[in-house]
Amino acid sequence: MLPFIRKLKTAVTSTKNHSDLPSIRELFDLGTTLMRYVEAGKAGSVKQSAYAYRNGLFIAMLAARPYMRRNNIAKIKIGEHIFQEGAVYRLRFSNDDMKGRISRGGPLPEMLTPYIDRYIRVHRPVLFLSKPDLDGTLFISYQGLPVYPHAMSDQIGKVTEAYFGRRICTHEFRHATGSSIAKEDPEHVGIVPTVLGHADYSTSEGYYIFADEYSAFKQLEKALDKLAHGQEGSDDS
């Protein structure tokens, strides 16, 4: 599996941001790129392809909706937690499903619809290894059973380490989201608590501080750039 991921890394263009964590966009792109690579017939056997596609979908879905924790996404059941409504798939988690006991849900990005369709129709049946589908769990393990949250997190850690050179656990998708918003759109850092499902706003305080600092340093860079250009003009006169 890991040699395949390393080949994938050399086959696509990555826009690393040189921070400790990749951006949430990079994580999402890794998931979709991995699934496309599978569909191009480059992931090995039918069984290997199904596993790789499952991991790609897991990464893309978690990056798209990072309020989910590993227990949430590993235990998603078709028709209960995920269902199709028109052109999109929707998620639905009750109070009892969520750590903060606040129900969450809403549509997944429409661009994920064909990937989810393909996984359910083609790759998920392969993962059952001829075992019966007992409860509609979306993500299936190597043993043809509902995946364990820890095992899925371990798989994602191995994939991200092979691709980014850094092991990223499922919980760190939340950190990547907060950091990405704070860095790329600091004016809207206030959405972080809602995006991540923080019941206590103090949990997101670090991202507010980071956004303020990042904005301040960007302004400093602009000022230094103007000063440098002004100095160059003085030297030429």
* Domain positions in the chain: 2-171, 186-236
Least Cα distance to 137 among 60, 57, 81 occurs for 81
Report d(CA 168, CA 34) in Å as an integer.
16
Q: Check if the beta carbon of residue 8 is closer than 8 Å to that of residue 163.
A: yes
CATH architecture of 2-171: Orthogonal Bundle (1.10)
Task: Specify the pLDDT at position 2.
Answer: 64
Contacts of 178 (CB under 8 A, 6+ apart): 192, 196, 204, 206, 207
The confidence score (pLDDT) of residue 54 equals: 97
**70-74, 105-109, 177-181: segment of lowest average pLDDT:** 177-181
Q: Is the pLDDT of residue 126 over 50?
A: yes
Place of tokens 């064909």: 114
**Whether the predicted pLDDT of 11 surpasses 60:** no
Predicted local confidence at residue 106, as pLDDT = 79
Q: Are 139 and 62 in contact (CB under 8 A)?
A: no
Mean pLDDT for the stretch of residues 42-65: 92
Q: Is residue 9 very low, low, confident or very high in pLDDT (cuts 50, 70, 90)? A: low
Copy the structure tokens of residue 57.
């979908």
Percent above pLDDT 90 for the chain: 43
pLDDT band at 38 (very low <50, low <70, confident <90, very high): very high
pLDDT: which is higher, 234 or 145: 145
Question: Residue 104 carries which side chain, given as an amino acid letter?
Answer: R
Cα–Cα nearest to 197, from 65, 47, 53: 65
Q: Which residue in 59, 61, 67, 58 sits closest to 27, CA to CA?
A: 59
Distant-in-sequence, close-in-space partners of 63: CB < 8 Å, separation ≥ 6: 24, 25, 27, 28, 31, 173, 176, 177
- At 163, is the pLDDT very low, low, confident or very high (cuts 50, 70, 90)? very high
Find all residues with CB under 8 Å of 58, minimum gap 6, and list them: 31, 73, 139, 152, 155, 156
What is the CB-side half-sphere exposure of residue 100 using CA atoms within 13 A? Answer: 15
Q: What is the mean pLDDT of the chain?
A: 77
| CA-angle at 234, arms to 229 and 237, nearest 5° | 130
Residue 16 has pLDDT above 50, yes or no: no
The answer to whether 146 and 140 are in contact (CB under 8 A) is yes
Residue 198 pLDDT exceeds 60: no
